[in-house]
Structure 1
Amino acid sequence: MEATSGPVRTPRVNLLWTGGWDSTFRLLQLLLVHRVEVAPYYLKDPTRASTDIELKTMAGIIGVLHARYPHTRELLQPLHVAEVSKLPTDPEFATALAEVRRRNYIGSQYVWLPAFCRQHGINDMEIGVHVDDRVQSVLRTMVTEFDHPAGFRSVRVDPKHAGTPEYRLFGSFSFPLFLIDKVEISRQANGSDWGDIMEMTWFCHTPVRGKPCGTCGPCVYTIQEGLARRVPMSRRALSFFYRRLLLPFKDPLRHARASLRRHLSGRREAATGTGHS
């Protein structure tokens, strides 16, 4: 990848940035290759133990970018931070997530991310969905490529799927990393001399003494997707046993709990209907 010379004014790109591997790589692409103005967004989840580390990580990366690439001072807007706890509850997204989860498990953040976009009138937020990501497997047959107004190609859910739960959840997003995996991101980043910045990124949701735990979702995905070196050896050993002995039961238990909740909900609705007859 070669950067063009001098900042060029183009439409702003909205980016969900967590300080993680995928979203940081995308930030670097936007600022250093495409040289477009970026509005980064971060949603603070009070249940996530890694919030402070993620915010410090992003501050550190911004400092390096400003020092090494002065033009990013103009292109990179201040980080927009929002509290998940202050987002309005939207039954439409909760229902859509429940429908998608009947077929594939995806995280609860996909209720409040579209709610945030709706609240702020954003219909083009970039997120770092990539090959081997659960969301990528959900949307693989539903996406289409398009020309972004900022001058690059990207991917989004095809509007022909409007009305589906997948479109309700993901219609406000685009997925510029949809066709590459974490290892390819590493290869491209190293080829562009961004390797040291990428190593500053953070991914673990439940750190242990400031280090990746090895057993949370992002740690497991990081190991499975070819970047095990980023997890300390001792936690990698623990992760090995966790993935072999406990993880195989996680999805079946989720499906069983969801099925039980639907069953109980149906019984309550039936009882209510009987009581009113």
Structure 2
Amino acid sequence: MTPIYLVDDNRGSLQVELRTMDRIRERLAELHPYTRELMRPTLFARVAELQPDAAIDQAFNRLAAKFPIGSQYNWLARFCRQRDLKDVEIGFERERYGAGALLLDLVEQGRSPAGYPAYRIPAAEQHTDVGTIFGSYVFPLFDITKQDMAREVDARGWRPIMLDTWFCHRPVGTEPCGRCHPCLNVIKAGLGWRIPPRRRALGALHRATIGFAKSTAKRLVQGATAS
């Protein structure tokens, strides 16, 4: 297994995420030594060094005008195309919001190259906007919700490791901000306990005021670009 990480030099959580990945590797190796061989060194690539791709830009803008998906899916699609990568595993869950909602009625069940069940974009959709952006992936977690994961984590005693994971794009010191899209998705999934109460309250206030105005303006701009 080779993890892939795209380095965005403008990402506020960059250093936190790099430290988190190192810490989790060390923790896994301590608790489960066999993971040293299972997890290969991370493949890093810089977003600034990706080549432009007009077709991917246009497909992404059309999708983003309808669904709240992040710019990382544009970068990842360009990265996969430029490296000629297929069957890259990505952790989408069956959700009713964000990128997972976009794929709900499109993916078909099959198997990953390693032989376990996974979903993928069907061949008939590969030349659509969805296929352009998400066609390089398999989705091994698509039948699992975040609540399912939380129950599995607790049943197996993995919560100390999971508490080391990171999801926030704009950390405030060492705390999640409570207002970026990953934080919102964690809250919507019923896992808001992962965000301190004070940050959740400030995030709710931001979403109801500034966040609403910004998201509306973003969709209008993306819709104009897509048309």
- After the TM superposition, which of the residue ranges 241-250 and 134-143 deviates more from structure 2? 241-250
Asked if the contact 2:50–2:79 (Cα under 8 Å) also holds between the matched residues in 1, the reply is: yes
- Matched residue SS, 2:108: strand
Deviations 1:209-240 (A, max 9, x none): 12111111111221121111111121111012
Query: Matches of 1:185 and 1:50 in 2, distance apart?
Result: 24
Query: Matches of 2:87 and 2:206 in 1, distance apart?
Result: 37
Could you tell me how far 1:203 is from its partner in structure 2?
1.0
The answer for the alignment partner of 1:10 in structure 2 is none
Query: Matches of 2:217 and 2:57 in 1, distance apart?
Result: 20
Q: Normalising by structure 2, what TM-score? A: 0.93
Aligned residue among 68, 74, 80 for 2:31? 68
Alignment of 1:169-208 (within 5 A): 169-208=133-172
Alignment of 1:151-230 (within 5 A): 151-230=115-194
The answer for the alignment partner of 1:58 in structure 2 is 21
The answer for the alignment partner of 1:117 in structure 2 is 80
Query: Matches of 2:173 and 2:94 in 1, distance apart?
Result: 30
Aligned residue among 93, 100, 105 for 1:130? 93
Alignment of 1:1-277 (within 5 A): 38-132=1-95, 133-261=97-225
Structure 1 stretches lacking a partner, 5+ long: 1-37, 264-277
Give the letter for the 1:99 counterpart. R
The answer for the alignment partner of 1:9 in structure 2 is none
Could you tell me how far 1:261 is from its partner in structure 2?
4.4
RMSD: 1.7
Asked if the contact 2:179–2:206 (Cα under 8 Å) also holds between the matched residues in 1, the reply is: yes
Percent of pairs identical after alignment? 36
The higher relative CO (CA closer than 8 Å, separation ≥ 6) is in 2
Query: Matches of 2:58 and 2:223 in 1, distance apart?
Result: 14
Query: Matches of 1:248 and 1:224 in 2, distance apart?
Result: 16
Asked if the contact 2:61–2:225 (Cα under 8 Å) also holds between the matched residues in 1, the reply is: no
Deviations 1:114-159 (A, max 9, x none): 1111222210111111133511111111100112231210011111
Structure 2 stretches lacking a partner, 5+ long: none
Query: Matches of 1:261 and 1:147 in 2, distance apart?
Result: 36
Asked if the contact 2:61–2:226 (Cα under 8 Å) also holds between the matched residues in 1, the reply is: no
Query: Matches of 2:55 and 2:223 in 1, distance apart?
Result: 20
Give the letter for the 2:21 counterpart. M
- Matched residue SS, 2:168: coil
Give the letter for the 1:67 counterpart. E
Question: Do the aligned partners of residues 259 and 161 (structure 1) sit closer, same or farther apart at CA in structure 2, a change above 3 Å counting?
Answer: closer
Give the letter for the 2:132 counterpart. R
Could you tell me how far 1:181 is from its partner in structure 2?
1.8
Question: Do the aligned partners of residues 142 and 151 (structure 1) sit closer, same or farther apart at CA in structure 2, a change above 3 Å counting?
Answer: same
Give the letter for the 1:191 counterpart. A
Query: Matches of 1:76 and 1:188 in 2, distance apart?
Result: 21
- Matched residue SS, 2:2: strand
Question: Do the aligned partners of residues 72 and 239 (structure 1) sit closer, same or farther apart at CA in structure 2, a change above 3 Å counting?
Answer: same
Query: Matches of 1:259 and 1:65 in 2, distance apart?
Result: 44
Query: Matches of 1:68 and 1:42 in 2, distance apart?
Result: 24
Deviations 1:22-48 (A, max 9, x none): xxxxxxxxxxxxxxxx11111111121
Deviations 1:178-214 (A, max 9, x none): 1222111111111122111111001111111121111
Asked if the contact 2:65–2:220 (Cα under 8 Å) also holds between the matched residues in 1, the reply is: no
